[in-house]
Amino acid sequence: MKMSQVFSRTLREVPVGAESLGYGYLVRAGFIRQLGAGIFSLLPLGLRSIRKIEGIIRDEMEKIGGQEILMPVVNPADIWKETGRFYSIDREMSRFQDRVGRDMVLAMTHEECVTDIARFEIDSYKRLPQLVYQLQTKWRDDPRPRAGLIRVREFTMKDSYSFDRDYEGLKKQYLAHYHAYFRIFDRCALPSIAVGSDSGMMGGKIAHEYMYLSPIGEDTIITCAKCGYTANRQIATFVKEHTSEAELPLEEKFTPNCATIEELAEFLSIPKTKTAKALFMMGTFVDSTSGEEVQKLIVGIVRGDLDIEENKLQNAAKANALRPAHADEIKAAGMEPGFGSPIGCAKDVLVLVDDSVAHANNLVAGANKVDYHFLNTNFGRDYTGEVVDIASAVAGHLCSVCKNPLTQSKGIEIGNIFQLGTRYSESMNCMYQDEGGVRKPVVMGSYGIGVGRLLACLAEEYHDESGLQLPISAAPYQVHLVSLIKDTAIAEQVYKQLEDAGIEVLYDDRKESAGVKFADADLIGIPIRITLGNRSLKEGKVELKLRANPLEIHQIKLEDLTKDVHKIIADLQRAIHDSMYEREVGDEI
Whole-angstrom distance, CA of residue 486 vs CA of residue 152: 45
135 binds RNA (CB under 7 A): no
> What residues between 67 and 106 interact with RNA by CB under 7 A?
92
Among 519, 548, 558, 589, binds RNA (CB under 7 A): 519
Measured from the CB atom, the residue of 201 and 398 that comes closer to RNA is 201
> What residues between 468 and 497 interact with RNA by CB under 7 A?
484, 486
Site string (234-273) toward RNA, x via CB under 7 A:
----------------------------------------
Task: Please say whether the beta carbons of 524 and 45 come within 8 A.
Answer: yes
For 79, what's the count of Cα atoms within 13 Å in the CB-facing half-sphere? Answer: 22
219 binds RNA (CB under 7 A): yes
154 binds RNA (CB under 7 A): no
Beta carbons within 8 Å of 214's beta carbon, 6+ residues apart: 410, 411, 412, 457, 460, 461
Task: Please say whether the beta carbons of 35 and 156 come within 8 A.
Answer: no
457 binds RNA (CB under 7 A): no
Among the residue ranges 287-295, 352-360, 525-533, 560-568, the one whose residues contact RNA (CB under 7 A): 525-533
151 binds RNA (CB under 7 A): yes
Can you spell out the DSSP letters for 263-318? HHHHHHT--GGGBEEEEEEEEEEE-TTT--EEEEEEEEEEETTS-B-HHHHHHHHT
Measured from the CB atom, the residue of 376 and 416 that comes closer to RNA is 416
3-state secondary structure of 559: helix
**Positive/negative CA dihedral, 503, 506, 510, 515:** negative
- Binding residues for RNA, rule CB under 7 A, total 69
CB of 409 to RNA, least distance (A): 15
Strands 207-213 and 193-196, by their bridges, are antiparallel
Measured from the CB atom, the residue of 265 and 568 that comes closer to RNA is 568
Measured from the CB atom, the residue of 439 and 486 that comes closer to RNA is 486
Measured from the CB atom, the residue of 382 and 464 that comes closer to RNA is 464
520 binds RNA (CB under 7 A): yes
145 binds RNA (CB under 7 A): yes
Task: Please say whether the beta carbons of 66 and 131 come within 8 A.
Answer: yes
What is the residue type of 376? N
> What letter does residue 463 receive in the DSSP assignment?
B
10 binds RNA (CB under 7 A): yes
Whole-angstrom distance, CA of residue 39 vs CA of residue 31: 14
Binding stretches for RNA (CB under 7 A): 9-17, 19, 34, 36-39, 92, 108-109, 138, 140, 142-147, 151, 157, 197-198, 200-202, 209, 218-219, 310-311, 321-323, 413, 416, 448, 450, 466, 484, 486, 511, 513-516, 518-523, 531-537, 543, 545, 550
